[in-house]
Amino acid sequence: MFPPISLAWLQLNHKKSRLIISIIGVAFSVALMFTTTGLKDALFEDSVTIHKTLQADLVILSADFQSFWTIHTNPFPRRIIYSLSAINGIVSVNPFYVAFAGFKNPDLKTKKNIGVVAFNPDKPTFNLTEVNQQISVIRNDETFLYDRLSRPEYGEIVDKFKALKKPGSVVTELLDNQIKIGGFFSIGGGVFSADGLLITSDLNYANIFNRPIEKVHLGLITITPGASPEEMIDKINQKLSYQVKVITKAEFIKLEKLYWQKATPIGIIFNILSLVGFIFGAVIVYQIIFTQISDYISIYATFKAIGYTNFYIIALVLQESFLMSIIGYIPGLVVSLGLYKYIQYNTRLPMILTIEKILTVISLTIFMCIFAALMSIFKLKDADPAELFQ
């Protein structure tokens, strides 16, 4: 026989101050777990911001590939990519270039490294409408598109462009060469990606960086709709002899996230913080339930005296801890929603509160409260009916 849930609520609500403390403790724990898991996922998701904008089904990269932001050190011959265009099932093959160089703030004249990506404008490479609509812009000599979400240290480029009295471009320098900003797009960078980004044509890339376009950093392959990526990879591997490999775009994204998980202690740090939140909440719940059992020990003894079993009383305490987890979870979720919006607005990190996170945290919260209750019910052994008659 289980006790009615209303009895657990009456016991929990008997002392309002204790109820408020329990709600605050559980809510804080919930918010900490949500924030740490959200930040961890956002940081790793931030590392693949550009990857997801590339128009490709398969990607060819150096066998020594570690990260997108280090591929500029491992170029390979462009002919390898073009040699695959004759394979049945391949729609297009596009070379892709990546570089970094000092970008001059046109106002402060300071320099800061910025990411530069380039491609053949005859073969649009991004699935971004803004970029594809401005292909004609990057065909012009020394002309680039600028990411309007770049860090403010690069200057007020967007405002300067808007202030032009007639259509034109903002003039500045890249790698001590004069360049023109002729348009804008939005991708955004963060902790694991570039603070700023420029897009241009392969010819402009070659001229500014004095590098041959024969040396590429990625090969982007589009295959026939409905074709099996695995079968296409097998066909391509039969043609490859150079030290390169071909993988799907999904695997490309997965490799990037895996690199940052291993190259940095971010995952471990945030997992520890989540554990701290769990322990903090468990300690608060334990203290409240233990104190409550101590206060009501004579009541529990009375229950036993009139025939209620230990199981009934334990179930009552567990119901109380369950209610505590749900009541504390709701404000914790609300606070977390606000924190997610605040963090995303100020850092541009993709803070996304998914159903998976919601279910994971509520499960951990319920487990945390029940675990704390189980740790405190040993006090019930002191509820001896015989003591009521002493």
The gap from C-alpha 236 to its chain's centroid, in whole angstroms, comes to 32
pLDDT per position in the chain (390 positions), as tens? Answer: 667 777 777 777 777 888 888 889 899 999 999 999 998 888 888 888 899 999 999 999 998 888 888 888 889 999 999 888 888 999 999 999 999 999 999 988 899 999 999 999 998 899 999 999 999 999 999 999 999 988 889 999 999 988 887 778 899 999 999 999 999 999 876 656 678 899 999 999 999 999 999 999 999 999 999 889 999 999 998 888 778 999 999 999 999 988 888 877 877 888 888 888 888 888 888 888 878 777 777 777 777 777 767 777 788 888 888 988 999 999 999 999 999 999 888 877 888 899 999 999 999 999 998 888 888 777 666 555 555 444
Token digits of residue 114 = 């910025």
Instruction: For residue 97, give the H/E element and its range.
Output: strand 90-104
Task: Give residues with Cβ within 8 angstroms of 312, minimum separation 6.
Answer: 1, 2, 3, 303
Report the amino acid identity of residue 298: S
| Cα maximum dimension of the chain | 99
- CA nearest 218: which of 51, 63, 75? 75
Instruction: For residue 119, give the H/E element and its range.
Output: strand 111-119
The gap from C-alpha 246 to its chain's centroid, in whole angstroms, comes to 25
Burial of 65 (0-12, 13-18, 19+ CB in 10 A): buried
pTM of the model: 0.78
> Where are the chain's structural domains?
5-46+265-389, 64-242
Report the amino acid identity of residue 53: T
Instruction: Work out the number of other CB atoms within 10 angstroms of the CB of residue 159.
Output: 10
The pLDDT of residue 187 is 87
The size of the chain, in residues, is 390
Alpha-carbon distances, residue 98 vs 21, 74, 146 (angstroms): 54, 10, 15
- Angle at the Cα of 20 (from 285 to 303), degrees rounded to 5? 60
- CA nearest 171: which of 187, 185, 186, 155? 155
Token digits of residue 177 = 């060469």
Q: What is the DSSP code string of 29-94? A: HHHHHHHHHHHHHHHHHHTTTTGGGB--SEEEEETT---GGGGGGS-EEHHHHHTTTTSTTEEEEE
Burial of 146 (0-12, 13-18, 19+ CB in 10 A): buried
How many alpha carbons fall within 13 Å on the CB side of residue 66?
A: 9
The pLDDT of residue 123 is 87
